[in-house]
Structure 1
Amino acid sequence: MFRHALHAVAFLSEDKITAKVELLKKTFTWTDAEVGIALSKAPKLLTRSEESLQHRSEFLISEVGLQPVYIAQLPAIVCYSLEGRLRPRYYAVEFLKENGLLKRNPSYSTVFSETEKEFREKFICPHKEAAPHLEQDYDAACKGELPTNFRFT
């Protein structure tokens, strides 16, 4: 973790670090303590652009419905690819929930942090018969497309 922290701040001035901390507070509505927790667990947050942080904040808070304090406790999810990982997995799990294919609601920290292989084994493969298009829809979503089956109102 020290190596990641050092890499994150190596090329940033004190003013830029302060500005990034303020941006994190504003974007995720975090307190100073929550920013401290998040940065201690994921110093790479300091290397993310304002636009990237804004998009992830909007998605995680507004669309997924995660609480800012939850995100601060699991900040690695902010570092994952929005289009290649977060959205496709969220859409796949929402599809499974809407169609009554999940026995219980999984935590999004688990959904987002599992390896691709683990995610497919838990959420895609077991539902091949009940939802034969799920794998293709998930693959399309990973490529940035939004399949019709993944559109929710």
Structure 2
Amino acid sequence: MAILRKNGVPESNIVTSLTCYPRTMTYKNDRFKQRLKDIQQMGFDPSKYLFIIALHGFASMNKSTWKQKLEAYQRWGFSEKKILMALRRYPWSMTLYEKKIMSHMDFFVKKMGWESADIMRNSKILGFSLEKRVIPRCSAVRVLQLKGLVERDHSIRTVLIKSDKSLLEKFVTKYEEKRKIGLP
């Protein structure tokens, strides 16, 4: 705790780390200090909550695992700089398994036709479940497009990040009402 305080981590974030990610606090001092330094060099601000998430994610893996994850992102054409930018937006991305990174990127790029740069700008979507969120939402929008109800492609943000209520209002409810009154 003293190391975190010395590095500018607020008390509230230290308490959160202790209660939500206690394992992070159990590493040997040298390893903990090195991970803390690594996270700071990546550009995470110690005064922000995202710093704690990044510390938790990064401290829980060894260097070879980190390298494998970087390589998985790089296979999709991302530079280390772009990967770090995405991680600063959504540090949970560093906790994803290589297999999940690859399967999600494959679906988004090959099946949906989205640009990999857009995916990294919205890196939060890499953490979503393909089966529970991504495929059902993308399928619903595709059906509406095939029926001619939705003419243009919608952004990743519109399809995947919006709340269920917002998505239903934008796509489903709107078109159900048109169908009830006989409009195309």
TM-score of Structure 1 vs Structure 2, range by shorter chain: 0.7 to 0.9
Deviations 1:23-58 (A, max 9, x none): 2212x2212222121111122122111221111011
1:129 deviates by 4.8
Distance 1:114 1:94, change over 3 A: same
Structure showing greater relative contact order (alpha-carbon pairs closer than 8 Å, 6 or more residues apart): 1
- Opposite residue 10 of structure 1, the aligned amino acid is A
1:142 matched residue in structure 2: none
The structure-2 alpha-carbon separation of the partners of 1:131 and 1:8, relative to structure 1 and needing over 3 Å to count, comes to farther
Gaps of 5+ in 2: 1-49
Deviation at 1:104, TM superposition (A): 4.5
| Residue 12 of structure 2 corresponds to residue 12 of structure 1 | no
State the superposition RMSD in angstroms. 1.9
TM-score normalised according to structure 1 size: 0.76
Q: Report the identity percentage.
A: 27
- Could you tell me whether the CA contact under 8 Å between 2:104 and 2:126 is conserved in 1? yes
Structure 1 residues 73 and 49: CA distance shift in structure 2, 3 A: same
Which amino acid counterpart does residue 72 of structure 2 have in structure 1?
L
Q: Deviations over 1:46-102 (max 9, x none)?
A: 211122111101100000111111111111111111111111111111111111112
Structure number, greater radius of gyration: 2
Q: After the TM superposition, which parts of structure 1 deviate over 6 Å for at least 4 consecutive aligned residues?
A: none
1:37-116 matches, cutoff 5 A: 37-102=85-150, 104-116=152-164
Aligned length: 131
Q: TM-score, normalised by structure 2?
A: 0.65
Q: Distance in 1 between matches of 2:54 and 2:78?
A: 20
1:33 is the counterpart of 2:81? yes
Deviation per CA, 1:3-34: give whole Å up to 9, x if none: 221221121123322222122212x2212222
Question: Is contact 2:144–2:150 with CA below 8 Å preserved after alignment?
Answer: yes
Instruction: Point out where structure 1 has 5 or more consecutive residues left out of the alignment.
Output: 133-153
Q: What is the Cα deviation at residue 106 of structure 1? A: 2.3
1-structure distance, mates of 2:179, 2:156 = 21
